[in-house]
Amino acid sequence: MEDVTLVGIDLGKHTFHLHGQDKKGKGLFRKKLNRKQTIEFFATFHACTVVMEACAGAHHMARKLASFGHQVKLISPQFVRPFVKSNKNDFVDAEAICEAASRPAMRFVTPKTEARQVLSALHRVRESLVRDRTKTVNQVHGFLLEFGVSLPVGKATMTRLAAILAEHSLPPTLVVILERLHAHYKYLNEQVTENDKEISRHLAADELGQRLLAIPGVGPITASVLTAEMGDGTQYQNSRDFAAAVGLVPRQYSTGGRANLLGISRRGDKNIRRLLVSCARSYMMRLDKQTGALADWVRTLLTRRHSNVVACALANKLARTAWAMATHHTVFHSDPTAVV
């Protein structure tokens, strides 16, 4: 057991499968343990490299094992899959994790801190609430349209739904259903408001988040999401790697020495990508009031490219700017002569 230098863990909800090997890649042990036994095992095991897939519970386990002196690495599951040999089972998965971690060019995921995980949870809850709120509004519009009442698109009409119901002769049972949906909408709206306040409190206490707010078009939600998901940015070698990680660079299908670039890859976190593109569109809507090198670059690009292409290109630039600010601890300057 003293020769073990690398341990791969296939995480589960209740049970964990461990595969240990030496520096030459020879398997030395296989164990199936529950959560408590796994923690007790590594608490007394000599310091080594522990590798897991970046999935549910991985960040908590990484922090726990790191406190015992182990070097913990997380790998994206998509990079482990090619190393699974023959038939799939949990021990084979653990061995594949070790094999993937042994590759010198392998990319790893930086474990999140508790604060970043809490912030990520807040944003996921917010997404769910907003999605449910939109669904509720659409249901109200759909039910009313079936009875000949056409309302303008959007949630603004929900504020005067009671007056709309009074203006039209509708079945009593339908009115009760719509009133319940209206009450549900108001509850969801209150929850979204409370969630936004909590996010604002977290952002106010975060130094990086405050600096990211200076980027053109970036608001509190985007700055908070970048803080939670990107962190200090050290897991990316450069700004292009971060832009590629969120799917804002072209896909490549090149062969025979001929480069062929397609549309954006749309890989990685689609929420960050959506927010950055929204920030870019917001900036472009007020382009006539913008000055500086960034505004001039966008105007020049708009003369020869479609606005959708420009929005993605600007989102790419915003992502790179955010990474540079996070890693180099700099502040954004709108002055084109200033050094960022």
We report the CATH number of the domain holding residue 40 as 3.30.420.40
d(C-alpha 124, C-alpha 269), whole Å: 12
- Domain match, 190 and 259 both: no
Measured in degrees and rounded to the nearest 5, phi and psi for residue 50 equal -115, 130
Q: Angle of helix 114-146 relative to helix 58-66, nearest 10 degrees? A: 170
Q: Which residues pair with 261 in a beta bridge?
A: 252
Structural domain contains residue 45: yes
Final residue in a domain of this structure, among 101, 126, 144: 101
CB 325 within 8 A of CB 331: yes
DSSP summary character for residue 255: B
Structural domain contains residue 174: yes
Measured in degrees and rounded to the nearest 5, phi and psi for residue 234 equal -70, -15
Overall domain count for the chain: 3
Rounded (5°) CA angle 145-147-150: 35
- Domain match, 317 and 249 both: yes
- Domain match, 261 and 186 both: no
Q: Which residues pair with 74 in a beta bridge?
A: 52, 109
Q: If DSSP codes are grouped into helix, strand and coil, which group holds residue 131? A: helix
| Whole-number pLDDT of residue 268 | 82
| Whole-number pLDDT of residue 335 | 57
Structural domain contains residue 226: no
Structural domain contains residue 119: yes
pTM passes above 0.95: no
Q: What is the number of H-type helices and E-type strands within the chain?
A: 13, 7
- Domain match, 128 and 177 both: yes
- Domain match, 135 and 89 both: no
- Domain match, 90 and 54 both: yes
- Domain match, 48 and 127 both: no
Final residue in a domain of this structure, among 204, 220, 250: 204
Nearest Cα to 224, choosing from 239, 241, 240, 206? 206
- Domain match, 97 and 12 both: yes
Residues whose CB is less than 8 angstroms from the CB of residue 254 and which lie 6 or more positions away in sequence, other chains included: 260
d(C-alpha 21, C-alpha 290), whole Å: 58
For the record, the structure tokens of 335 come out as: 């002055």
Final residue in a domain of this structure, among 74, 101, 128: 101
- Domain match, 290 and 254 both: yes
Structural domain contains residue 218: no
Structural domain contains residue 299: yes
- Domain match, 21 and 62 both: yes
Q: Are strands 15-21 and 27-34 parallel, antiparallel or unpaired?
A: antiparallel
Structural domain contains residue 338: no
Q: Which domain holds residue 84?
A: 6-101
- Domain match, 192 and 247 both: no
| Whole-number pLDDT of residue 340 | 38
H or E segment and range at residue 71: strand 71-75
In the chain, which stretches have pLDDT less than 50?
336-340
Residues whose CB is less than 8 angstroms from the CB of residue 142 and which lie 6 or more positions away in sequence, other chains included: none
CA distances for 107 relative to 50, 187, 278, angstroms:
15, 43, 29
- Domain match, 153 and 189 both: yes
d(C-alpha 264, C-alpha 272), whole Å: 14
Structural domain contains residue 217: no
| Whole-number pLDDT of residue 194 | 95
Q: Which residues pair with 15 in a beta bridge?
A: 34
